[in-house]
Chains A and B, each alone.
Chain A
Amino acid sequence: MSATCSGGDLFILWMEEQVDPTPGEAESLRLIEQAHQGDLEAFDRLMRLHERRVFRTATLLLGRPEDADDAVQETFLRLYRAMGSFDASRAFEPWLYRIAVNVCRDLSRRRRWKQWLSLDGWLTAGGSEPATRSHGASREAEIQAALARLSVRERDAVVLRDIEGLSAAEAARALGVSEGTVRSHASRGRAHLRKLLGGSE
């Protein structure tokens, strides 16, 4: 039992170290201010600065790169519309992630509804999930398939905390829940992932 705990702790520690360099917060704030004043070039630069993270998050939350493009587009559109309400005294990234997470949830809901309405979609729904693509021997697809099997809450928490490298507070803000809840969901998600990918640890 103690060995498991220590392994889990090491896993978490490692995760917290492996964080992508955060695009300059100050740069983002400057660009968002310029964009808010109507400078579309600044908004274009802001999108370039964050598109990779938004795309990656959307791909992992939705499970399909095809949907991720739509999610990125919708996220940036919502970001543009909501710029006026952005509180510059708070961090930009959790706010952006919150928009992205909400967009992904909306798209997911819409996708499920479409599949439910369409017999064809219903029958082929499983085929487009990463779970079946993992057949293709791609380890990345396997991990994505495992992520797709987590509950939405676990997946959101694991993706934001462990893959996007947000702190518990930032992830909590992005997901609109308390820090304790994020920690708990992330922890359960990790355990679930380890189980699903059994033997790779």
Chain B
Amino acid sequence: MKGDLEILRGIAPEPERMTAVRRRVLDQIAEHNGPRGLLLLAWTFSAVAAAVAMMLLWPQEKRLAPSWIHLPAAVEPPAFAYELTPPWRGLQEPQPATARPEHPAIEVVGLTDNDVQLRLASSDPDVILYYFVEKSGD
């Protein structure tokens, strides 16, 4: 049995045949790589172009310059309830509300010693406004 199996370990390809096999493999790889390289380049170019187009066409968040308004001395939660005329309709001066509006989109997003930052959303979901209001009476 030993000798028998040694014979099998001696199985070897003819060098010329293996040379031909390797050549065919390398030819196929080269053939495959050529179009694939071009395809990859074209794909990359299209992807970049699409990304740039999306960036340009994507609805931009509309931001306005901070507008300074005065809050009452006592900064109580209802004091944040300001009726703000939508600034995108002419940047009018915000007026204090007589009652807290039911506007759910107003929220305090920052509070420092002197400033209160309000985040206001309009009825237009694409419009988000940030207002900085100064605490008065400090």
Mark contacts of A20-52 with chain B using CB atoms, 8 A cut-off: 1 yes-contact digit, 0 otherwise: 100000000000000000101001100110011
Chain B's nearest CB lies how many Å from the CB of A154?
A: 15
A38 to chain B, nearest CB (A): 8
Give the chain A neighbours of B22 by CB distance below 8 A: 44, 47-48, 51, 76
For window 40-99 of B, CB contacts with A under 8 Å fall at none
CB contact between B1 and one of A38, A48, A194 (< 8 Å): that residue: A194
Q: Which of B10-58 contact A (CB under 8 A)?
A: 11-13, 17-18, 21-22, 24-26, 28-30, 33
Q: Which residue of B lies closest to A80 (CB)?
A: B29
CA distance A148 to B3 in the complex (A): 19
Q: In the docked arrangement, what's the CA distance between A150 and B9, Å?
A: 18
Q: From residue A193, how far is it (CB to closest CB) to chain B in Å?
A: 8
Q: Bin chain A's interface residue count.
A: 35 or more
Q: How far is the CA of A68 from the CA of B18 in the complex (A)?
A: 10
A15 CA to B7 CA, complexed, in Å: 13
Pick from A53-61, A96-104, A119-127, A170-178 the stretch touching chain B.
Answer: A53-61
B1:A200 contact, CB within 8 angstroms: yes
Task: Report the separation of the CA atoms of residues A60 and B13 in the bound assembly, to the nearest whole angstrom.
Answer: 12
Indicate if A14 sits at the interface (CB-CB under 8 A): yes
Q: A13 → chain B, closest Cβ, in Å? A: 12
In the complex, the answer to whether B29 meets A73 with C-beta atoms within 8 Å is: no
Whether the pair B26, A11 counts as a contact (CB closer than 8 A) is no
Q: Shortest beta-carbon distance, A61 to chain B, in Å?
A: 12
Chain A, Cβ-Cβ closest to B33: A38
- Complex: chain A residue closest to B14, CB-CB: A65
Instruction: Check B25–A55 contact: CB distance below 8 A.
Output: no
Partner of A163, one of B1, B8, B13: B8
Choose among A15, A140, A197 the residue with the greatest number of B CB atoms under 10 Å from its CB: A140
- A72 on the interface (CB 8 Å rule)? yes
Cross-chain pair count, CB within 8 angstroms: 79
- The answer to whether B21 and A52 have CB atoms under 8 Å apart is no
Given known pairs A56-B11, A163-B8, the reply for A43 and B1 (CB within 8 Å) is no
Q: For B25, what are the chain A residues with a Cβ–Cβ distance below 8 Å?
A: 47, 73, 76-77, 80
Interface size on B, residues (CB 8 A): 23
Partner of B8, one of A52, A77, A144: A144
A73-B13 in contact (CB<8A): no
Which A residues are in CB contact (< 8 Å) with B12?
52, 55-56
Contact A200 B26 (CB under 8 A): no
Least Cβ distance of B22 to chain A in Å? 5
A90 at interface (Cβ–Cβ under 8 A)? no
How many whole Å from B35's CB to the nearest CB in chain A? 15
Given contacts A40-B26, A80-B29, A200-B1, contact A55 B11 (CB under 8 A): yes
> Which residues of the partner chain B approach A65 to less than 8 Å between Cβ atoms?
13
Most buried by B among A18, A38, A43, A69: A69
Contact in complex: A69, B21 (CB < 8 Å)? yes
Closest Cβ of chain B: how far from A158's Cβ, in Å? 10
A40-B30, A77-B28 are known contacts. Are A11 and B11 too (CB-CB below 8 A)? no
